[in-house]
Homo-oligomer: A and B are copies of this chain.
Amino acid sequence: MTDMSLAPSDRALVPFVSVANMLRLLNARGTESVLRDLARYIEEDYRRWPEFDKTPRIAAHSRDGVIELMPTADAEHYGFKYVNGHPRNMRHGYQTVTAFGVLASMATGYPLLLSEMTVLTALRTAATSGLVGRYLAPKGAEVMALIGCGAQCEFQALAFRALCGITRLRLYDIDPAATEKAARNLKGLGFEITICATAQSSVEGAQIITTCTADKQNATVLTDNMVGAGVHINAIGGDCPGKTELHADILRRSDIFVEYPPQTRIEGEIQQLPEDHPVIELWKVMRGEAPGRTADRQITLFDSVGFAIADFSALRFVLDAVKGTDMVEPLDLLADPDDPRDLFGMIARSAGQAA
């Protein structure tokens, strides 16, 4: 027999968005449309950057990878993401990156949403890149080189089409099977695709160069001679101490744009440069308080590492997007006794219920 008064109340139930429901949301709205919406939420939050409580992410490193917590908060909401990065996972059929996150009320501390974020992280990373591209890429850019055809690649392509008008892609991956996978997915989406034999050849004629490789080491995906005047570099993969993608000489020729300097100095491409090397904070560009692209021959570099505020924006988007739909399920995650001081009494009453 079920005593309804002992069933969890609405207060005890946390709305949960599963992977299956995140995929339904994408299919219902269209991935490009979601990327555009995400970019809007992210831009809104970047423009009120000083309102946020910010901290570099908290990382636990091991031989195999890293697990990170990424919290941030404004006056109304608290958000955090759990995310791992384990490059060797792929060999055993696991994802390199998985993630989930929570948005909570600052007034009560109660979670308002628990969401898968493996797919959502890929989306918010791409949406951020596309948004930044809108401020920094050369006008009329149509061709993007995509170096690294892993899990992030197609999302980058779609975001740069949705937000910057890119239609032609030059793909390169060290593993031809990965390039084939990306080409197959992207052709189906109407992109004009060139498969390139080397990273060097992939950048020919590209106005935007996106690097999104996954090796946990100091690699040199781009050498100095590969980067011509006027391009925008969207450097995604260098996002961990000891993990970079660009030769330091490229950094010295570029204007470098970053999310949150205290974190990027530790994790980004600029970990190769002195602590005081000048960088430009993107939120200032988005508020019109710092210049973005100012000259045709300028090399702009987005040294992306991923910051908690974009995850916060993404969770805000999901909370709004699933409201009133069946794409969210109630999860019995919080204890909710009738008398909040009588947590102990719940145990005895639940025993009565089971009997």
Residues of A bordering B, CB below 8 Å = 8, 11-12, 16, 18-20, 22-24, 26-27, 31, 53, 55, 58, 60, 62, 64-67, 69, 71, 73, 75, 78, 80, 82, 84-86, 89-90, 92-96, 98, 100, 102, 104, 106-111, 116, 118-119, 122, 149-155, 178, 181, 185, 188, 331-337, 339-348, 350-351, 354
Closest B residue to A34 by beta carbon equals B347
A31:B347 contact, CB within 8 angstroms? yes
B334:A100 contact, CB within 8 angstroms? yes
Contacts of A151 in B (CB 8 A): 337, 340-344
A269 to chain B, nearest CB (A): 23
CA distance A64 to B18 in the complex (A): 30
CA distance A65 to B20 in the complex (A): 34
A348:B69 contact, CB within 8 angstroms? no
A-B CB contact pairs (8 Å), 23 listed: A11-B93, A19-B332, A19-B336, A23-B346, A24-B354, A27-B354, A58-B71, A60-B71, A67-B78, A69-B71, A82-B111, A84-B109, A86-B108, A89-B109, A94-B340, A95-B334, A116-B333, A116-B334, A151-B340, A154-B344, A155-B344, A178-B341, A181-B339
Besides the known contacts A18-B332, A122-B343, 9 further A-B residue pairs in the complex with CB atoms under 8 A apart: A11-B94, A19-B334, A19-B335, A20-B332, A55-B58, A80-B82, A96-B340, A118-B343, A185-B348
B60:A350 contact, CB within 8 angstroms? no
Contacts of A104 in B (CB 8 A): 67, 82, 84
